[in-house]
């Protein structure tokens, strides 16, 4: 059985009209009843999920790579929408690096007025647990569904800690790197994976930015060729680029692919939001296929 990778949001902190914030969906199939794991919850994530016909209530778990604001902007929306739209109590399983539980606690505190309005108005919501949160470090994770998930430390310093995740189901495997520079933890997590989903920035472009604050981000992100080198070292089948900084100008996508292909000879995927990559079991000879789900905005 394949795993499906859908890049829900390929943007970054820089607002873009056609790229939502960082979020990737790993699924066992396209139906609502399949297992769906949301990695990061950036700007607009529920709109992108809605384009797939999937709601917050259909998520098996949310896994956060780190606590940078662009990766958790809409976590409150996922928590609240799941709560108020589920017909039975369905606490959202949230896993992230150390500090996640504290952030979610404060998020719920900020949502306090909303929670009190809704529980006063809808008696059946009173007493519900909205979330089940785990601070993770490394190794296997207990998540609902048919997919085995494990995590390892990545290197996004001074943002610390940060995690990459590996999803495995019946021979198919996908790693989500998040924001990171090349590092041993990610290399080990990626070994022999069918696909690697990796944040990338154009260092050749950002290095020329006239603002030091923008140039500061060079040291904790990977360029497409660094992501490619990680994929090549680990023997990954398909490299999926996302979290583009800066947002690619129309028609420049081939430049990004060309830079990644300097170090990686395998398949390179780079899509708009909702680009979907089908990752077959690595034990078969089936080739990776892709589609892009249309959206109307
Ligand atoms: Zn980011
Ligand atoms: Zn980050």
- CATH number of residue 125's parent domain: 3.60.15.10
Contact 267/288 with Cβ under 8 angstroms? yes
> From the candidates 40, 70, 155, 225, which is the catalytic residue?
70
Tell me, yes or no, whether 81 lies in a domain.
yes
Which ligand has its closest atom nearest to the C-alpha of 97?
A: 2
* Per-residue H/E/C for the chain: CCEEEEEEECCCCCCECCECCCEEEEECCCCCCCCEEEECCCCCHHHHHHHCCCCHHHCCEEECCCCCHHHHCCHHHHHHHHHHHCCCCCCEEEEEECCHHHHHHHHHHHCHHHHHHHHHHCHHHCCCCCEEEEEECCEEECCCCCCEEEEEECEECCECCCEEEEEEECCEEEEEEECCECCHHHHHHHCCCCEEEEEEECHHHHCCCCCHHHHHHHHHCCCHHHHHHHHHHHCCCEEEEEEEECCCCCCCHHHHHHHHCCCCCCEEEECCCCEEEEECCCCCCCCCEEEECCCCC
Tell me, yes or no, whether 48 lies in a domain.
yes
Of 132, 143, 142, residue with least CA distance to 101: 132
Tell me, yes or no, whether 142 lies in a domain.
yes
Q: How far is the CA of 27 from the centre of ligand 1 (A)?
A: 22
Tell me, yes or no, whether 227 lies in a domain.
yes
Give the model's pLDDT for residue 287.
Answer: 61
Of 166, 145, 197, residue with least CA distance to 34: 145
Tell me, yes or no, whether 135 lies in a domain.
yes
Q: How far is the CA of 244 from the centre of ligand 2 (A)?
A: 12
Which ligand has its closest atom nearest to the C-alpha of 220?
A: 2
Tell me, yes or no, whether 297 lies in a domain.
no
- Rounded to a whole number of angstroms, the CA Rg of the chain reads 18
Taking only the tens place, the pLDDT of each residue in 253-273 is: 999 999 999 999 999 999 899
Taking only the tens place, the pLDDT of each residue in 189-240 is: 999 999 999 999 988 888 788 888 888 888 788 899 999 999 999 999 999 9
Respond yes or no: is residue 58 known to be catalytic. Answer: no
Q: Which residues of the chain have pLDDT under 70?
A: 283-288, 296
> Distance between CA atoms of 163 and 297, rounded to whole angstroms?
32
* Per-residue H/E/C for 121-186: HCHHHCCCCCEEEEEECCEEECCCCCCEEEEEECEECCECCCEEEEEEECCEEEEEEECCECCHHH
Contact 131/92 with Cβ under 8 angstroms? yes
Neighbours of ion ligand 2 (CB under 5 A): 68, 179
What count of Cα atoms within 13 Å lies in the side-chain half-sphere of residue 73?
17
Q: How far is the CA of 290 from the centre of ligand 2 (A)?
A: 27
Q: How far, in whole angstroms, is CA 60 from its chain's centroid?
A: 14
Domain extent at residue 48: 3-292
How many domains is the chain partitioned into structurally? 1
């Amino acid at each position: 059985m394949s795993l499906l990778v859908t890049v829900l949001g390929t943007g970054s902190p820089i607002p873009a009209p056609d790229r939502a914030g960082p979020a990737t969906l790993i699924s066992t199939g396209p139906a609502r009843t399949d297992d769906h794991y949301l990695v990061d919850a950036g700007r607009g994530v529920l709109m992108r999920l809605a384009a797939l016909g999937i709601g917050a209530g259909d998520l098996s778990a949310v896994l956060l790579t780190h606590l940078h604001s662009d990766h958790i902007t809409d976590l409150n929306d996922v928590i609240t929408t799941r709560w108020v739209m589920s017909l039975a109590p369905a606490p959202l399983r949230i896993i992230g690096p150390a500090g996640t539980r504290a952030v979610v606690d404060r998020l719920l505190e900020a949502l306090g007025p909303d929670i009190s309005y809704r529980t006063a108005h809808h008696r059946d919501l009173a007493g519900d647990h909205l979330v089940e949160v785990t601070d993770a470090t490394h190794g296997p994770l207990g998540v609902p569904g048919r997919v085995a998930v494990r995590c390892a430390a990545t290197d996004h310093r001074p943002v610390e800690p940060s995690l990459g995740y590996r999803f495995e189901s019946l021979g198919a495997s996908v790693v989500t790197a998040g924001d990171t520079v090349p590092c041993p933890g990610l290399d080990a997590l990626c070994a022999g994976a069918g696909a690697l989903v990796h944040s990338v920035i154009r260092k050749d472009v950002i290095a020329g930015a006239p603002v030091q604050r923008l140039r500061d981000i060079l040291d904790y992100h990977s360029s497409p060729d660094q992501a490619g080198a990680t994929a090549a070292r680990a023997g990954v089948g398909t490299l999926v680029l996302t979290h583009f900084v800066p947002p690619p100008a129309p028609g420049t996508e081939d430049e990004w692919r060309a830079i990644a292909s300097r170090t990686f000879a395998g398949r390179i995927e780079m899509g708009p939001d909702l680009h979907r990559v089908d990752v077959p079991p690595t034990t078969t000879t089936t080739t990776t296929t892709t589609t892009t789900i249309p959206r109307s905005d």
